[in-house]
Each structure stands twice: as C-alpha cells, then as structure tokens.
Chains A and B, each alone.
Chain A
Amino acid sequence: MATRSAGTAVRFIDPIALQRIRSLELVARTVVDGFITGLHRSPYLGFSTDFAEHRPYQPGDDIRRIDWRLYGRTDRYYLKLFEAETNANFAVLLDVSGSMGFGSKDISKIDYARLLAASLTYFSSRQRDRVGLFTFRDQVVDYVPPSAKHLDTVLHTIARVECTGPGQLQPPLERAANLLKRSGIVVLLSDLYEDPDEVIGAVNQLRFSGQDVIVFHLLDPAELEFTYDAPSSFEDLETGERLPIVPEKHRLRYHGLIADHVTALTDRFARNRIDYVLVNIGEPLDRVLFDFLLARHRGLQTT
C-alpha cells in the first residue's frame, strides 16, 4: 500500500464548503475517501467473504487458500486474499446542548460535529463495524443502537439534531455506558463546558464499561481567542444568563482560563489513557481526521 506524508500532499477540505453539501453520506464519502486512500484501507487482511486480491503462492502458504479455478485457467498457483471483518461496535456520543449551537463565522460547532460524526461513522461502517449514535444534552436525546445496518439511520439522526437547553455529561454518559453492552469504540463530540474532573468522571464511566473512548473537544476560534472588542453584554447560550464584559480588558484573563481548562483536560485524559483531541472548528475537517487517525495508528503500532 502506498502512503503519503500527512503534511505535504494532502489537500484539506474547508468545513464551510462541506457544510453546503446537504447529504451527510456524501460529505462523509468526500472526507473519508479523500484521506483514506493515502492512509490505509484496512490494517488487517484475513479470512473473510469479501475478496480483496490475488497473490502468487509462496512455499509455506496454506494450500487451502489456493484459488484452484485460477490454477485451472492459468496453470499457476495464486492465493485469494480477503478483507478482514472486525465486527467492532462504533458509537458516536454527540453533544446537542445549547452551547454547541455557537459559531462565530459561517459554521457552528454542531455543524462541524455533524460532519465529523458522519465522517467517522462512515469510515467505521466501511470497516464493517457496527455503528451507533447517542445525542445528549443533560440526558440522552436520541439513541441508535450499534448495528452494521444503521449507517443510514445514524446519518439521518445526526442530520436532524437541534441544539438547545443546558448540557451535562454525567447522566447521559452513564446512560450510554449502560446501553452499550459490547465493548467498542466510543467517540464523544462536545465542547466540554464542565469542570475537568467532572468531565473525566463522566467519560471514565464509558471507559470502565470497556469502551475505547475518543474525545473530540470542539471549540470555535472566538472561544479560543476571544477576539471581541466592544464592551458588551455576553449571554449564555444554555442558561440565558447575561454578563457585562469589557473584552479588551478581560481578554488576557480569559486566555489564561481557557488555556488552563484545556491543559487540565489534556492532562487528565492522558492519565486515563483516553484519546483527547482539541478541535478548532476553523480548521479543515479532513485535516483533523487525518491528524487524529495518523496519531492513533502510530499509537496502535507502538502499543
């Protein structure tokens, strides 16, 4: 398999451009097919019903894998290779609280999360995983059980989510841990506006139930840089609470707080061996995916 360097040859796709594509499946294909060719098809080739390719027979190979029909036509020995069937569970936990509806530019965090969730789900579905979905605020809103046939349902559910109301991680993640009977991969997409310890406590429920948890922390550039100038009242999207703020005066302090928050989350997730990705929704979606999958692939190789 040919591989490409991540930083040079990959052309990244603007998330705003992706958002204009209505069909999430088409978006997912666009994103996934774009980078998957350069990364890998499937890390495992084994016995399966899906034919992958032929290769010449070499001494030591199991003679049961020789394609005798091909031998009959060509008078040469070839082995049939099949794509592996992993049969793992893959579930997306999508935060649809009011804060996820924020976007300082043309794309909001929930829009970005939709594209990311759809891409990951599509990617997993192509690997024969069973795909499922949870949407949650302070409770689980929608639940699509993991299944090899639920790709369309998951994408449809993702497409119609609405962000409103306050959010909380502990109750919905506890509920998800209970519902996911089989171990698998769980991807949490949220802006994580909670105390880092509470976040870790909630996420650990999934990990302790045997799930491989990956956390995507979605933040808007305005949340990271706080580029506001004019003195204004700031209204909380979840609670409606207002606070008069002089951004110019408080920007430095805000930067310190958000940096501390991210640092605390990074530290705690790392200590609990949970993959944590801070996503600036101003960056291309496929680049985020590419960087993450490359890092994860390297992680798997080293472990």
Chain B
Amino acid sequence: MGLLAPAFLVGLAAIAVPIVVHLFHRHRKDPIRFPSLMFLERIPFRTVRRQTLRNPLLFALRVLALVLLVGAFARPVLTGVGALGSEEGAREIVVLIDRSYSMAHGDRFERAQAEARTVVDGFRSGDAITLVSFDSDAQILERSSTQPARVRATVDTLAAGSAVTRLGPALKVAQSVLDQSPRAGLEVVVVSDFQSGAWSATEDVLLPPGTRVVTRDVAGDATASNVMIATVSVEQSESGNRETAVVSARIVNDGPNEIQRLPVRLSLDGQALETVEVDLGAGDSGDQTAAVRFQPFVLARVDARATVSIRSDDLSVDDAFHMVLTPEAGFSVLVLEPDGARPQQSFFLARALSIGSEPGFDVDVKRTRAFQLSDLDARSVVVLNGTAPPSGAAFDALVQFVENGGGLLVALDERSAWPNGDAAVLGGSFGSPVSRSESRGGALGFIDFGHPAFELFQTTRGGDFTGARFFRYRPFAPDSTADVLARFDDGAVALTETRRGAGRVLVWAGGIDSFWSDFPVQAVYLPFMQSLVRHLSGRSARPTQHVVGELVDVAVLGVGSDERDLIALSPRGGEVRILPDTSGARYLRLAEHGYYEIRSDQAGAVGTPVAVNADRAESNLTGMDPAELVTALTPTGDGAGGAAATTRLDLEERERRQSVWRYLLWVVLALLMLETLISNQMMRSTRVAPVRTGG
C-alpha cells in the first residue's frame, strides 16, 4: 500500500473534532435565557458524565468516516495483494506477433513463435497475456488470458500469411487492451521483422504512461536474399478470329549475390508454355532487375489461369505471379436508320466506334425496314438512329433482346417515332422537335459525372462537353423509371437511362449526327460514344489479378448476382460463404495469395477463378530500428528497457487505474448516511409526549 498524497494525512488531526464534541460537549457561547431554573435545579447531574462517550457507536462511525475521507484524499495505491485483486508486479502483457508474408522468409516465423513462447514462459501469478497476430489488420487471439498453456497452444497454431505488415492497427489494439487493464505493470512485446514500411510516425498511437515496450526483432541476417517477380503485364490483341496474349514480367534480385540463368516460367492452366532464363546482378549493382517478355500465345478459353514463376527461395510468396486471362470479344453494334435517311446519318457514329480497340467495335448499319430477327444474334448493342423501332414481332424481339442483357440506344431525330403504349421501354415519351437555332444553340448544362457512362470524363482533362452546340432536340419527358444523366442548358432532358430486365435503354434527345448539332465534330464525341456503347453492353473491364487484402465485389468478377448461395474456395483450401449485405451486394475479402474459386454451392457448379497476388511492397526486407518505434510509442521514451521507468509515474498510473479513493468516498457516504439514520433514531427515542394544555 502506498500513498500518492501523504500530506493529506495531516487531516487526521480532524479526528479530534468528534472526540471533543463527544467528550466535552462544547457549550454554546451565549447562555440560554430560561424563565426559571426551578425544575432544572432539581435534576441531579455530575460533570464527570461529560467526560465519557455519550454514544460510542456514533463516535466510531464519525471517526471512521473522517479517517476514510482523509485516506481518500491521500490517494492510496494498492501495491500488495489487496482486496481489489491487484498484485505487486502483476502485469498485463500484450504480445504482438507479425504474421505478414515477409515473416515466411527463412525461419523468421519459427523464431517469432519461439520469442512468443519465451514471453509466455515468463508468466507469473496474477499476470494476464493478450496475444495479437497482425499483418495489415490485427486480430486478438487471446485476450487477458491467465492460462499460459492455452496461449502457448495458440502460438503453436500460428502461421505466416499473405498480407503486408502494418504495426499501427496492432499497436492500437494493444493500447486499447492496456487502457482497460486494472493491472499495474503494462507491457507490450512486439515480435516482428520490423520492415521499414511497417511503421509510420504519423500513426496516432500512444501507449499508457509507464508501459514497457519490448521489441523482438526476428529479421536476423540483415542481408537477406530474395528474388521476386515484381510486376507482370498482359497485352491481349485480336489476330484474325483468334485472340492472343503477350505476357511480360519484371524480375528483381534483392539479395547481395548475383544470380545467373534464373529460369522464369510461364504456365497456363498448369501447363508450362515457356521458360526464359535471366541473369540478375546483385541487389545494389544497378542491374538487379531483368525484364522478360514471353512469346505470344493464343487465348482459347475464358478464365485461363496464367502463372509466371521462378524457383522458390527463402521468401516464396513473391516467387509466383498469378493472373486470370479471358479473351475479350469485341462489341457488335447494329445501327438502324429510317428509310430515306440522310446521307451519312450514321457516319459519325460508325467512324467513332470503328476506331475503338481492346476490344474493338463491329458496327453494322441497316435500314429498319430490312431488319431481321437474326440481326440480333451475338449483338451487344442496337442503335435506333432517328428511326422508329421495327414493328410487330421484330419489336418484341428487340425488347426481349434488351431484357436478356442487350443495350439499346435511341437517338431521337425528327423522324423518330415510337409505338403508342410501349413508352415504358424508353422510360418516358418525347414530343415535337424544339428549335434552339434563334440563339447560338443550346449546350449541355448538367451531366451526371458519377454515372459509369461519364466516368471517363470526371477528371479535368477528361473531355469538354461545353463546346458542343445543339440547335434542335426532341423534348423528352422521363417517367419514374428513368434516370436523367444529362440535361441541356434550358433544363430539357438530354440523356436518360432505363433498366429493362438485365439490359439498359439510353435515350439521347439531340441526334447523333451533324444535322441537329455540331456534337459529332467535337473531340469528346468519339470517347463518349464508345463509352455509351460499352456501358450499354453491360460488360466492364475485369481485372486480371487482385492484391491480398482487397475487398472485391463478386459482381465485378462476372459471377451472377442472382446466385443465392456463393462460396469461395481459398488457395489453401478453405471455404468462405459469401453472403449478401443489406444492399444485396456480395463482397469477398482476399486474404491469401493464389487462386480463389467462386462458385455456387450447387453440386457440379462451375467456378470462376480469381487471381490474387501478395503486395510486393512486403518483399522489401529493409529493416527499421526498433528503438524508433519504442521512442514514438512512449512519451518519455523509456519503454525500451523498462528499468528506467520512474516509480512516481508508475505509482500515479496505478493509482489512476485502481481509483481506491473512489471506493473510499462511497464508504464514507454510506457511513454518514448510517450515522444520520442512527442519530435520528436516537433523537426520536428521547422525545416524549408534551404536557396536555387547555381548559
């Protein structure tokens, strides 16, 4: 037991007050004037009675309350085994063990486990151990455990992962645990290889004062060797009816020794396609990087698993790079014109699309009258360029085409018409042409740049729509199903979108040739039209690979969102069920490197592979000085050795955590209430009925 403010013990002198009150019955200074002492003189009393305690119980209560009050102000600290369970030397130990993939280098992780076991072996009675494993996230595996055997068993089950190291989240977890700990000794043990990128001084972590920070650096050899595949790129192109891919890779040697004839292999679906040998200089020689370009190969099937690999070294995670390659089919666009169409009515659109590549656009222009149902086969998008839609069964087929996921662009012109009663397909109805030619023409006044069709143009240099002048347009009245994506400067609707089944319908009110506007001769016309068609096709670019730690929307991966139960098989064979969130979207956190496979949980379902690679930043094994971390975490910078921690600070921290004074004040309050109760009871018992008066 210690006292933080022993000077307050002087207050114990106040105990004399109740003693004086009890023993000497302090008399009032002024006498009480009373009519007659006739009866009082008859009462026998002796002054010696005043020297005895009138009520020992009340006296004891008052003295005890005073002593406890003084004790509370003296701010006691329990240092021995006490009523509050605090024990001298009892520690709250938080062990942070790094599980990032750099810890898989050599025997780093085995040494980290050994360090953690050493800490657990130092467990004393009263201690509590919290075990946290961390990479870019931190996970509490054991919280304030008093069972060292259990913690040790948990340490044995740990393994290095695929994510990068970030000390910040782990230290914040430690801060949270220590802040809530009632124990006096606070200790954080960080077991890591302390890569230079793992810690940033801007991290807002400050451990409680008096915390002892112990670092266990398991990096070992400072000149660790590592060769990695730093980056891989793929170029896909069409060659005739086939699509070919060319894979390029960059290999980096981070070790002190040069490497000769290192084989770099490209495999597709597990079969080796090509192996290239490269020479790499030492890590600091300037020629430690080698670029590899493999021969083009034909992409014959979708979701092909392509892997570039080198022979495994001490850090095998970065020795392979995984990708999923799929032939990118071009967009097939059918443009329908009215009979008697203007010359070159679809010229600008066709030219704009024909320039596109990766993938390209295949554009067919036909008269509406010549439309056949077979024209919709393998089409991505149909454009009604200033014409009414085909009638009868052809119209129904067109609607069905949209509902099955096709895109329909309706460019309104003076000849545009639409069957009565089918306005729902458009998402609204249009009126007679409006002329803006009396002025300098209208311009686009509002554009929803948040929409995917305008995503390309969000940046400042993304495209200028303000230069286009529209001299006529068809006023379009959208219904509640249509979203307005753009308006003219007079507020009239310029572009709307309506969902119809799995497809989309876009209505452009201003014509897409040069008859009503100069928009086709603006620079922004070409990318805008390509973007519209791409958006209408419903196909978005699918990444060939992801990085560990990413949260991906499975809809982007091309997995049907209508699948009720989706599961993901992880590269290590684990199974994760992907449940929809409140908005119906399904997300998957990629925690391992390799190939995930997402599929329905139905038997025989075909999976969609997802390639995941480890973040190459973790492959940089350059270390940091753990002392910097200790200095940043403890205000006094005394946490490294622990021995220098000042006793005063420790005592204050203990007192703050124990708050014994708070309990003492509650006891004082209870005692005073009891004293009031007892004295009131005694007062009542001494009263008697007054003498009856009156005639």
Contact = CB atoms under 8 A, between A and B. Distances in A.
Instruction: Judge: A and B partners, yes or no.
Output: yes
Interface of A: 98-100, 102, 109, 191, 193, 219-221, 223-225, 228, 230-239, 241-246, 248-255, 257-259, 261-262, 275, 277-280, 283, 288, 291-292, 295-296
A295 B27 contact: no
Interface of B: 25-28, 31-43, 45, 47, 49-50, 54, 686-688, 690-695
A249 B45 contact: yes
A291 B695 contact: yes
A102 B37 CA distance: 13
Contacts of A244: 27, 47
Contact of A288 (B42, B45, B688, B694): B694
Contacts of A219: 693
Q: Which of B27, B39, B42, B690 counts the most chain A CB atoms within 10 A?
A: B39
Contacts of A191: 35-36
B37 A234 contact: yes
B419 to A, nearest CB: 99
Contacts of A250: 40, 43, 45
Nearest to A257: B39
Contact of A237 (B25, B34, B691): B34
Given A235-B33, A238-B36, A295 B43 contact: no
A239 B38 CA distance: 11
Nearest to B44: A253
B694 A277 contact: yes
Contact of A283 (B34, B37, B694): B694
Q: Which of B36, B37, B45, B47 counts the most chain A CB atoms within 10 A?
A: B36
Contacts of B691: 224, 255, 258-259, 262, 278
Q: Which of A234, A242, A259 counts the most chain B CB atoms within 10 A?
A: A234
A233 B31 contact: yes
16 contacts: A109-B35, A230-B27, A231-B28, A232-B27, A234-B34, A235-B32, A236-B34, A236-B37, A237-B34, A239-B37, A245-B40, A246-B45, A255-B688, A255-B691, A257-B43, A277-B695
Contacts of A220: 35
A257 B688 CA distance: 13
Given A228-B32, A231-B26, A234-B31, A278 B694 contact: yes
B695 A224 contact: no
B42 to A, nearest CB: 6
B690 A224 contact: yes
Q: Which of A233, A241, A288 counts the most chain B CB atoms within 10 A?
A: A233
Nearest to A277: B695
A248 B693 CA distance: 23
A235 B28 CA distance: 12
A193 B42 CA distance: 13
Nearest to B24: A231
Given A231-B26, A236-B36, A279 B31 contact: no
B695 A235 contact: no
The 6 closest A-B pairs by CB, nearest first: A99-B35, A233-B31, A280-B693, A231-B25, A292-B695, A257-B39
A9 B486 CA distance: 91
Given A231-B28, A246-B45, A255-B688, A283 B693 contact: yes
A235 B34 contact: yes
B23 to A, nearest CB: 12
Nearest to A219: B693
B36 to A, nearest CB: 4
Contacts, number: 118
Given A102-B35, A223-B35, A231-B27, 15 more contacts: A102-B33, A191-B35, A228-B32, A230-B27, A235-B33, A235-B34, A243-B37, A244-B47, A249-B54, A250-B45, A251-B688, A254-B39, A255-B688, A261-B39, A278-B694
A191 B35 CA distance: 9
A225 B690 CA distance: 6
Contacts of A259: 691
A246 B43 CA distance: 11
A243 B691 CA distance: 24
Given A99-B35, A232-B28, A243 B41 contact: yes
A80 B307 CA distance: 142
A232 B31 contact: yes
Contacts of B28: 230-233
Contacts of B45: 246, 249-250
A254 B40 CA distance: 7
Given A278-B694, A279-B693, A280-B693, A257 B32 contact: no
A224 B693 contact: yes
B50 A246 contact: yes
Q: Which of B35, B39, B43, B691 counts the most chain A CB atoms within 10 A?
A: B35
A275 B694 CA distance: 12
B385 to A, nearest CB: 106
A193 B31 contact: no
A262 B50 CA distance: 31
A234 B31 CA distance: 5
A103 B45 CA distance: 26
A279 B34 contact: no
B39 to A, nearest CB: 4
Contacts of A249: 45, 49, 54
B56 to A, nearest CB: 16
A162 to B, nearest CB: 16
Contacts of B37: 234, 236, 239, 241, 243
Contacts of A275: 695
A237 B35 contact: yes
A191 B25 CA distance: 31
A224 B25 CA distance: 24
A222 to B, nearest CB: 8
Nearest to A250: B43
Contacts of B42: 257
A228 B40 CA distance: 13
Contacts of A224: 690-691, 693
A226 to B, nearest CB: 9
A278 B692 CA distance: 8
Nearest to B34: A234
Given A257-B42, A262-B691, A277-B694, A248 B32 contact: no
Contacts of A245: 40, 43
Contacts of B54: 249
A102 B693 contact: no
B695 to A, nearest CB: 4
Contacts of B686: 248, 251-252
Contacts of A255: 688, 690-691
A275 B36 CA distance: 24
Q: Which of B31, B50, B693 counts the most chain A CB atoms within 10 A?
A: B693
B43 A102 contact: no
B695 A258 contact: no
Contact of A235 (B31, B49, B687, B694): B31
B683 to A, nearest CB: 8
B34 A102 contact: yes
B454 to A, nearest CB: 89
Contacts of A280: 693-694
B38 A193 contact: yes
Given A225-B690, A292-B695, A258 B36 contact: no
A288 B695 CA distance: 7
A234 B41 CA distance: 10
Nearest to A290: B695
A138 B56 CA distance: 48
B693 A278 contact: yes
Contacts of A254: 39-40, 43
A279 B694 contact: yes
Contacts of B47: 244
Nearest to A246: B25
Nearest to A100: B35
Q: Which of B26, B32, B50 counts the most chain A CB atoms within 10 A?
A: B32
A147 to B, nearest CB: 28
Contacts of B695: 275, 277, 288, 291-292, 295-296
Nearest to B37: A236
A183 B32 CA distance: 42
